[in-house]
A and B are shown apart, each in its own frame.
Chain A
Amino acid sequence: LVSRPPAMPTVVLMDVSLSMTRPVQLDGTEEFQRKNLAVHGLTMLFEHMATNYRLEFTALVAFSSLWELMVPFTRDYNTLQEALNNLEDYDKTCLEPALQGVSNIVQQEWGSTCPCQVVLVTDGSLGIGRGSLRHSLSTIKHRSEDKKFPLPFPFPAKLYIMCIANAEELQNSDTLDNLEQLLSLNGGEGQIFTVEGPLKLIDQAYTPFHAVLRCGNLSSDVQVFPRPEPVIMDEEVDPAPRTILTDLEIVGFIEIGDISSPPVLSRHLVLPIAVNKDVDEMGTGTTDETEEENSANQMAGKSPNFCVLLHGSLKVEGMVALVQLGPEWYGMLYSQADSKKKSNLMMSLFEPGPEPLPWLGKVSQLGPTSDAKENPYGEDDSKSPFPLQPKSKRSYAQNVTVWIKPSGLQTDVQKILRNARKLPEKTQTFYKELNRLRKAALAFGFWDLLKGVADLLERECTLLPDTAHPDAAFQLSHAAQQLKLASTGDSQYAAFDHNITPMLTDFSGSGSSDRDRM
């Protein structure tokens, strides 16, 4: 009932070359093939995952000189187990194409941002000559772009190598060196295990992340799934991996519309767990263990849990909870609906830092609304203090002048002309456009344009029809004269902050009413 889900997708890459059928010498017992040992180890892994990580996706790839996707990503461990039991034996070990295969499979399924675990199971005899790992590694520096070695994977990956060989065997060859080189190609992400590997692997890679979620005095024990990976920030000084705290503290709430689809590093399910000490202390091995677990789970289902309350209210109210993950590191909790009926409490991690979202500002400067003189959300919830307005406007929000393309300049001149023909009604817009052009021309040192536009306005003046308002002629010649003066560069007329103002005329009755309207 209480599900304990997984970490991240796993690809099991199983060596099925002939050498895997070599026997292992174990004292006083019957002879085993290495393959049997490998299958036994993987069975343990699958069993562990089936009980503890039911949500984990796992794929099985078998390889020799060729590779084959035996089981695509699935949560069905029976299928995996069955395929594992029915593996046949093939020829030699060629690791490079198999790794390339894994890379393709993962990218097709999960893209290049989803972290994955790759579990390579081999006997440590990594081939000879062409196609051997040794050969691949020795030619790694002389590759063309399209024949690059598959490592490092384009997605974040941990490479776990289960080597079915004992330490003595490994020491007598360069296998360990080659495998270590493989790990370092993967950015050091991963580990090599020998015969007794499976249990250690389970310990290392498949330990659930437990935390306490708090909101003031309300709290719940939770599992965060997948396990949040440490984050390294590309900062100037001492970049150190940062891990999220196991004490997750809610600091307040924000509307979904206000947080507005923020960018996140990763998403995680937050699953309430019942920390049942009695069951833990009893240990394992009792026959009715499962039964007891079930009843414990049923009990847990019936006692109120803060996560469920929080999830319900977040969903109904359309809000998110801001949660502190560490010093200057925050995330958000929200309800994520998978289908009409199923929904879950999710946590997304923001990029570490004091100000992860420009539209919220510094998180440390967010405080309770009750501290504000006036409710920033309005008495009837009609307002919002978000988004925060930046200090300066961006170019596209402030009508900038760019004349790099002739069309930009032509449009601006046309705007002036259009308004010029509707004088005196458009006096205000005419001068507004005129001043915008004047400013830009002065900044760009484009005095010829000022003269040109002055000539244009003078010509317009001569072309005015008899029916034109007398004010039009006055304004046009006034504007032309002012532009000409500016084009001399005379500091009295060419000051950037100076604006040409409409000429005050006796007919300005209509002009002034226009001004009122604007």
Chain B
Amino acid sequence: MKMFSISHKTAFVVDHCPYMAESCRQQVEFDMLTKNRPQGVIPLAPVSKSLWTCAVECSMEYCRILYDIYPTRKLVNFIVSDSEFHILNSWNQADQSTQELMAALAAVGPPNPHEDPECCSILHGLMAAVESLCKITEYQHEARTTLMDKADRVSNRGRIICITNAKSDTHVRMLEDYVQETIQEQNKLAISSDRLMQIQQCELVLIHTYPFGEETLVSDRPKKEISPVLTSEVHSVRAGRHLASKLNILVQQHFDLASTTITNIPMKEEQHANTSANYDVELLHHRDAHMEFIKSGDLHPAGSTSRDSGLKETVTLKWCTPRTNSVELHFCTGAYRISPVDVNSRPSSCLTNFLLNGRSVLLEQPRKSGSKVISHMLSSHGGEIFLHVLNCTRSTLEDPPSISEGCGGRVTDYRITDFGEFMRENRLTPFPDVQGSEVAGKVPLERAKRQLERHTRYWPMIISQTTIFNMQAVVPLASLIVKESLTEEDVLTCQKTIYNLVDMERKNDPLPISTVGTRGKGPKRDEQYRIMWNELETLVRTHMGSSERHQRVLDCVLACRSKPPEEEDRKKRGRKREDREDKGEKNGKDSESERSWQESERLKAALERDREELAEAEVIKDSPDSPEPLNKKPRLEVEDVQPAEKAKGPVSLLTMWTNRINTANSRKHQEFAGRVNSVNNKAELYQHLKDENGMDPHENGKAMR
């Protein structure tokens, strides 16, 4: 169905003239005799609906079904006509609900039987309906605005459903002619207006309704073309249930609906709670849910019935009691909103409540051959019930080779759990649609993509390719560094993580280095740390451009790993000479390093001394596991010694320069509040966290994420 088809706009015109106050002459008993009533009470006389009441409740039912199945984009404009017209709502989406219409109808009230019939006419309403069809809807306006120069290609079609009591066939023809003339007039007016559109096509559905037991004065007539713009059809129906079933058929025709009857629904008996009987519930939905039946010619399977006029067909599907509540991803080729035909009957509300409570029901299709197949599923999403169409034919994708037989299939140490964690962190969530968000580059989906990009800048896929992601100690830094922006506290946490690593290295703690693919025991401890630092630097380096604070984390890594490589080289050479060709990066430095070794050894000794001093200080100051942020002072001394070997260390020129600047700044800056307020040079960190959740954030480890 195209967006701006005839069913985009439906104008209801209901006759409110004095004769509509007449009784429909079908009585409704409302004083039902019930058990444990005193004997001899005479029931009250039954009531009878007026033609007006019948017309209104049937049109409300039409709207109810329409709004259930098309909550948006299919619009109704409700008009009543007596000595003038009353427009009860607008095309605005906000006005599209049965509650709105009911409230407006209550304000109109039933027709006044004492009003002068000469002043009253359905023509007022028909004119208002044509005028209203010329009015542009929000959706048409939006489409025209987006199409700009092609705006004229947005079409304007609509339908008028008029429920009235006509006098004769001639009277009906007069009504048709009147609508035709009004369209011509209004189309002329519409040319010169921005808010109006010419009617390109209009379908007039005239429903003549009359009391039970009377002869009709108007004959039925199928759709015929009055003019290229207007078609008209006439339905002559008795008020009451006949009118109701007519409108039920019409709403199905007008909106491409079809009917499915769910059969065999087990339900507890109202009177005897321990027994259960099986019930049927009829649902309406878009007819595409039956596509497979229509195409295969299976539309009239054994279970389907033809009722009433023969126009109404329903496909019967059998309820399958759900066994588990497990979430499964079904192969589903369509999902269509439903509306129960008898919305407040007990079986219907039992079914809908069951579904609204979150259960899904599979439906079985009885086939000609007698075989059974699960063809549909009923399921609710956010308070809306959908009929899902399941694929029940053989799949061309059956029996494909397993993913383990393809590329990368032989690899066994993928970081499955870590990537699962990554997926959880990158789950999506809906954000309200704020106008102008596109401009600010804040489209939520774009931000989601950017986050994925940041989180994957350095992401080794297998366990044996990484050291740092196998270390619990790196977790705080690794989860923070990928953030778009860091707080001062984040930087502090990262620095702490790094100092902690320094400490581990000093204590010669073992690292979870993979020995896969290497012979023997794998690399020596210092080599392990070199690998670890390299990897950490790689991770942090990919984020250094994100912000100044990210850069500071990198600076910290570089400062802390500034052990001269020559020392490592020497040790390595001492251990295994043949190792040399593997480490291409180190080649060429070897001869040079021979010379500078003594110098660097001296340097190292100085560094080590400093570090030891610092460590000693720490032991007094804090627990060994969480070294305090590096003092500026020792760093300053390192700085002073370093120029001797300049470019040879892993400290880049940029870092050195930054360090220098920082040092200069640090001389000017105010002392930390913590240090100022410390008792015996001891300041408690993260006091506020303890107040908030009574936990030491450090011990939280991974759970913190």
Contacts and interface: CB of A to CB of B under 8 A. Distances in A.
Nearest to A317: B420
A406 interface: yes
Nearest to A345: B403
Interface stretch (A14-22, A442-450, A475-483): A442-450
Contacts, number: 445
B397 A267 contact: yes
B453 A394 contact: no
Interface stretch (A118-126, A287-295, A407-415): A407-415
B408 interface: yes
A453 B30 contact: yes
Interface string B359-390: 01000000000000000010101111100110
B567 interface: no
Contact of A308 (B328, B393, B409, B449): B409
A296 to B, nearest CB: 10
Contact of A305 (B342, B408, B483): B408
B666 interface: no
B106 interface: yes
Contacts of A397: 352, 356, 383
B419 interface: yes
Given A252-B428, A301-B408, A308-B408, A320 B329 contact: yes
Interface stretch (B44-52, B609-617, B672-680): B44-52
Interface in A1-55: 1-3, 5, 8-9, 55
Interface residues of A, number: 150
Contacts of B332: 261-264
B666 to A, nearest CB: 33
B50 A216 contact: no
Contact of B52 (A237, A303, A395, A445): A445
B6 to A, nearest CB: 13
A312 B433 contact: no
Nearest to B63: A395
Interface string B100-141: 011101111111000000000000000000000000000000
A414 B28 contact: no
A179 interface: no
A163 B588 CA distance: 70
Given A267-B397, A334-B329, A111 B30 contact: no
Interface string A119-141: 00000000000000000000000
Given A113-B393, A217-B459, A274-B407, A369 B388 contact: no
Contacts of B411: 301-305, 308
A218 B456 contact: yes
A193 interface: no
Given A253-B426, A368-B448, A440-B102, A300 B407 contact: yes
B417 interface: yes
B636 interface: no
Contacts of A388: 382, 430
Interface in A347-401: 348, 358-372, 376-377, 381, 385-397, 399-401
B456 A261 contact: no
A114 interface: yes
A142 B349 CA distance: 50
A316 interface: yes
Contacts of B348: 396
Nearest to B465: A304
Nearest to B351: A396
A402 B98 CA distance: 12
A232 B267 CA distance: 44
A406 B344 CA distance: 12
B272 interface: no
B567 to A, nearest CB: 34
A236 interface: yes
Interface stretch (B53-61, B494-502, B590-598): B53-61
Contacts of B291: 112-113
Contacts of A413: 30-32
Interface stretch (A182-190, A455-463, A503-511): A455-463
B262 to A, nearest CB: 13
Interface stretch (B146-154, B158-166, B308-316, B546-554): B146-154
Interface string A257-300: 10111111101110111100000000000000000000000101
Given A312-B419, A377-B427, 5 more contacts: A113-B291, A218-B456, A342-B401, A402-B344, A439-B102
Interface of B: 1-4, 28-32, 34, 38, 41, 44-45, 47-50, 52-53, 56-58, 60-61, 64, 67-68, 71, 97-98, 101-103, 105-111, 143, 147, 150, 153-155, 241, 244, 291-292, 295-296, 327-335, 337, 339-340, 342-345, 348-349, 352, 356, 360, 377, 379, 381-385, 388-389, 391-411, 414-417, 419-420, 422-433, 443-445, 447-449, 451-457, 459, 461-462, 465, 483
Nearest first, the 6 closest Cβ-Cβ pairs linking A and B are: A305-B408, A367-B444, A111-B393, A445-B110, A216-B456, A387-B382
